[in-house]
A and B are shown apart, each in its own frame.
Chain A
Amino acid sequence: MDATGGEFAKGMAMLGAGIAMGLGAIGPGIGEGFAAGKACEAVGRRPEEAGLLTRTMLVGQAVSESTGIYSLVVALLLIFVV
């Protein structure tokens, strides 16, 4: 079986989508885990501020998640557009 032209490009695009999503998910995972760990420490130190800390942590995580979202967008483009 030999893949030609368009098929080869499509397969490579799928492969690229997988690699983009897999590598792009590493950074947000580490970053969000780090933020959650720090928030846990802070709640342990000052339990009465738990609400504010949780809110701040969630917003910070949503911002640091964006690099993963960009790789998701790139992966979607590779799958559906190429």
Chain B
Amino acid sequence: MHDLGRIHQLIVPLFGHEMTFNIEVIVMTWIVIAGLLVFGFLASRKRRLVPGSLQVIGEFFIRQFYDLAEDALDKEMAKTYAPLICALFLFLVISNWLGIIPHLEEPTKDLNTPLSLGVMGFFIAHYAGIKAKGIKAYAKAYFEPVFFIMPLNVVGEFAKVVSISFRLFGNIMGGSIIILVVSYLVYSMVLPPLLNAFFGLFVGTIQAFVFTMLTLVYISVQVK
């Protein structure tokens, strides 16, 4: 129970300011990235018309997310944004599954990871909006129903970032806290693997999918 609120931090003084690195989160993120790179390399190493097993998995993911992106955006724009959507989902799903391996932790358990991904989605959505509609139509969308509702629209845009990042963070953090507390209560017998399967695999997959879909929806709202 003592490791509930424990964070390993590296504090580097720089020009009178202090930079703080959360060591575990960085290392876990690197593990996820390395796993994804290895998967991508193995899946695309021997490309054939009759695919191997890893190539089938890779093609399945790519096809599904290209279809989703083509439904939400149009066909031309899907080519630009579907790789982003696919990479985002794979990163999040591997991150959320990482907690079921002992001694490893989900990088999404720290608020910095979901928040940075949410901010990234925010900027990409607005960039896509400006690029698709032009700056004038983009700015006009803020004054849409009536003139004086503009502050509400601006606050609503920022609330989207807070909403998706806190949803992912809260789900993963709450799941890991419940696993920890229940494991402590039953002396780590019988129950924790089932809880890990539910909170790690099931909730992790669904939340990764929800995060990805919402990012896609935000892009499509800006583009339309």
A residues touching B (Cβ–Cβ < 8 Å)? 58-59, 62-63, 65-66, 69-70, 72-73, 76, 80
A-B contact pairs, 12 of them (CB 8 A): A59-B206, A62-B206, A62-B210, A63-B167, A63-B214, A66-B166, A69-B166, A70-B170, A72-B170, A72-B173, A76-B174, A80-B5
Tell me which residues from 159 to 174 in chain B have a Cβ below 8 Å from any Cβ of chain A.
163, 166-167, 169-171, 173-174
Asked whether any CB of chain A lies closer than 8 Å to the CB of B142, the reply is no
**Interface residues of B: mostly helix, strand, loop or mixed?**
helix
A66 and B4 alpha carbons, distance in the complex (Å): 23
Contacts of A80 in B (CB 8 A): 4-5
Contacts of A73 in B (CB 8 A): 166, 169-170, 173
Asked whether any CB of chain A lies closer than 8 Å to the CB of B207, the reply is yes
The answer on a CB contact under 8 Å between B210 and A59 is yes
The answer on a CB contact under 8 Å between B173 and A76 is yes
A80 and B166 alpha carbons, distance in the complex (Å): 17
Of A58, A59, A69, which contacts B167 at CB under 8 A?
A69
**Minimum C-beta distance from A14 to chain B (A):** 15
**Minimum C-beta distance from A67 to chain B (A):** 10
**Minimum C-beta distance from B124 to chain A (A):** 20
**Interface residues of A: mostly helix, strand, loop or mixed?**
helix
Asked whether any CB of chain A lies closer than 8 Å to the CB of B213, the reply is yes
**Minimum C-beta distance from A70 to chain B (A):** 6
Asked whether any CB of chain A lies closer than 8 Å to the CB of B209, the reply is yes
Contacts of B174 in A (CB 8 A): 69, 72, 76
The answer on a CB contact under 8 Å between B173 and A62 is no
Contacts of A69 in B (CB 8 A): 166-167, 170-171, 174
Contacts of B171 in A (CB 8 A): 65, 69
Contacts of A62 in B (CB 8 A): 167, 206-207, 209-210
A76 and B171 alpha carbons, distance in the complex (Å): 12
Give B174's nearest chain A residue, CB to CB.
A72
The answer on a CB contact under 8 Å between B5 and A59 is no
**Minimum C-beta distance from B1 to chain A (A):** 13
**Minimum C-beta distance from B182 to chain A (A):** 16
